[in-house]
């Protein structure tokens, strides 16, 4: 289908100030190809079905809307974790603040420093993104692959116990950043990737994860703090035989967040879990868009998304499970729920199943509800003040998603952050 002139113009306007970053030949080729893809698709507009519940305007505009910096006394999440920390300030790698990029069983290279010698990354940068462009186009991800200025390439060859933590700081009110990370887990390898921080006034981020046979990847991310920040993120993952992929995201604050997660289960007996909690207060729009493709036998996928919304906040969930022909014994589960703390807030959900195999177990559910008054009264009748009782019920609502985090210490860290967020908002 030919693009409308409006779309063409909007796309050219967005990229007119950008230039393809320099790099080795293979990377330049990948970037040029991404630019061709982007131009063929055009950036999303308000009429696109995939953007029905989230207005892409501010995410595709030529200029980022400035976002005030948010000062807080609160310590950074994961601060107590023994980790390998990699720091980005307004989308630029900060070598001084970062740990040395070395470790046993792991190779880490800054995207901006990539040279022709990194053979393992050739053919991988942008490859999973291309894969994820069908059957639904994701132009912001193509834009990212073409213009990403920084990021890291991580290759994991062993069982790495120390988590790698990407920390983002937002220091300029007008920062408009594009980051692209690639993670490749070789056969039997294992790692945990942590991400935290608001990154920029506007962030476009892609994370490509290639999980080879029997490899295990854990991902825990917090997006928060800054009230006015905007972000469009994509995770593209490909899973081999008996591999495991688990991703959890906690989002608090931010006027606009669109998190897309595109997973393809290509090897038998693979497991993919994606979970998220978001807490929206006031001028807050959060969109979780998930697309999981089962293309192998006896794989399991789980999507667990919980949203607490108040003071006019909006939550969106678009989640799809596609079971391809032959993907027998698929076990697919999807739940998206919202807790609306007032009548001004809203939750828009579009759960989808598309199944071409006949021996599968897939279920999905979506609910919106208010605080359970009976439970609230029960707690209050025992002496728990109303606001504290409400917090307990909110945490109880979120817990199913938080429990998707396997590591106990990290799970407790996230739970205590949730608690802190709620406490700060008590009247």
Partner 1 sequence: MLEIKNLQVKLEDEDKQILKGLDLTVETGKVHAIMGPNGSGKSTLSYVLSGKGGYEVTGGEALLDGKDILEMEPEERAAEGLFLAFQYPVEIPGVGNMTFLRTAVNAQRKARGEEEMSSTEFLKVIRAKAKTLKIDADMLKRPVNVGFSGGEKKRNEILQMAMLEPKMCILDETDSGLDVDAMKLVAEGVNALRSEGRSFLVITHYQRLLDHIKPDVVHIMADGKIVKTGGPELALEVEQNGYADILAEVA
**57 or 400, CB closer to partner 1?**
400
CB atoms within 10 A of CB 382: 8
Nearest to 255 by CA among 287, 303, 277: 287
Q: How far is the CB of 397 from partner 1 (least distance, A)?
A: 6
Name the site residues for partner 1 (rule: CB under 8 A).
Answer: 372-375, 377-386, 388-389, 392-393, 395-400
Q: How far is the CB of 299 from partner 1 (least distance, A)?
A: 28
Helices 25-41, 139-147: crossing angle, 10 deg rounding: 150
**173 or 372, CB closer to partner 1?**
372
8 Å CB contact between 183 and 154: yes
The pairing of beta strand 176-185 with beta strand 152-156:
parallel
Q: How far is the CB of 383 from partner 1 (least distance, A)?
A: 4
Q: How far is CA 66 from CA 175, 202, 228, in A?
A: 8, 8, 8
**210 or 391, CB closer to partner 1?**
391
Q: How far is the CB of 367 from partner 1 (least distance, A)?
A: 13
**5 or 374, CB closer to partner 1?**
374
**75 or 381, CB closer to partner 1?**
381
- Give the DSSP letter string of 7-72: HHHHHHHHHTT--PPP--HHHHHHHHHHHHHHHHH----TT-GGGSSS--HHHHSSSPPP------
Q: How far is the CB of 177 from partner 1 (least distance, A)?
A: 37
**313 or 398, CB closer to partner 1?**
398
- Within 8 A by CB and 6+ apart from 211, the residues are 185, 217, 237, 238, 239, 240, 243, 244, 245, 270
Q: How far is the CB of 337 from partner 1 (least distance, A)?
A: 12
**242 or 372, CB closer to partner 1?**
372
- Within 8 A by CB and 6+ apart from 385, the residues are none
Q: Which two tokens stand for residue 124?
A: 């991988």
- Whole-number Å distance between alpha carbons of 397 and 243: 30
Q: How far is the CB of 114 from partner 1 (least distance, A)?
A: 46
Q: How far is the CB of 100 from partner 1 (least distance, A)?
A: 40
Cα four-point dihedral sign 220, 335, 317, 42: positive
**4 or 367, CB closer to partner 1?**
367
8 Å CB contact between 230 and 256: yes
Q: What is the CA radius of gyration of the chain?
A: 21
């Amino acid at each position: 289908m030919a693009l409308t002139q409006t779309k063409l113009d909007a796309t050219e306007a967005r990229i007119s100030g950008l230039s393809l970053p320099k790099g080795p030949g293979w990377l330049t080729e990948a970037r040029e190809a991404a630019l061709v893809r982007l131009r063929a698709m055009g950036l999303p507009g308000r009429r696109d079905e995939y953007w029905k519940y989230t207005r892409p305007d501010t995410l595709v505009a030529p200029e980022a809307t400035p976002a005030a910096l948010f000062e807080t006394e609160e310590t950074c999440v994961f601060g107590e974790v023994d980790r390998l920390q990699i720091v980005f300030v307004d989308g630029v790698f900060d070598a001084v603040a970062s740990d040395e990029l070395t470790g046993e069983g792991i190779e880490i290279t800054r995207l901006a420093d990539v040279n022709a010698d990194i053979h393992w990354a050739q053919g991988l940068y942008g490859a999973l993104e291309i894969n994820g462009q069908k059957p639904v186009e994701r132009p912001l991800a193509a834009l990212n692959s073409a213009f990403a200025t920084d990021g890291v390439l991580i290759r994991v060859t062993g069982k790495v116990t120390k988590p790698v933590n990407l920390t983002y700081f937002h220091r300029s009110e007008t920062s408009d950043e594009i980051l692209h990370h690639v993670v490749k887990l070789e056969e039997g390898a294992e790692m945990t990737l942590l991400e935290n921080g608001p990154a920029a006034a506007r962030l476009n981020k892609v994370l490509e994860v290639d999980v080879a046979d029997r490899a295990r990847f854990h991902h825990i991310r917090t997006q928060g703090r800054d009230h006015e920040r905007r972000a469009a993120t994509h995770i593209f993952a490909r899973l081999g035989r008996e591999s495991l992929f688990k991703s959890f995201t906690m989002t608090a604050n931010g006027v606009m967040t669109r998190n897309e997660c595109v997973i393809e289960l290509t090897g038998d007996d693979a497991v993919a879990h994606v979970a998220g909690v978001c807490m929206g207060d006031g001028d807050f729009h959060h969109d979780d868009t998930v697309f999981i493709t089962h293309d192998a036998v006896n794989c399991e996928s789980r999507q667990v998304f919980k949203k607490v919304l108040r003071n006019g906040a909006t939550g969106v969930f678009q989640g799809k499970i596609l079971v391809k022909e032959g993907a027998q014994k698929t076990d697919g589960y999807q739940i998206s729920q919202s807790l609306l703390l007032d009548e001004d807030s809203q939750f828009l959900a579009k759960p989808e199943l598309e199944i071409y195999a006949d021996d599968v177990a897939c279920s999905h559910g979506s609910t919106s509800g208010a605080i359970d008054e009976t439970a609230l009264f029960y707690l209050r009748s025992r002496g728990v003040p109303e606001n504290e009782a409400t917090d307990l019920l909110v945490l109880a609502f979120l817990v199913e998603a938080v429990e998707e985090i396997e590591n106990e210490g990290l799970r407790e860290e996230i739970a205590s952050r949730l608690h802190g967020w709620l406490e700060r908002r008590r009247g």
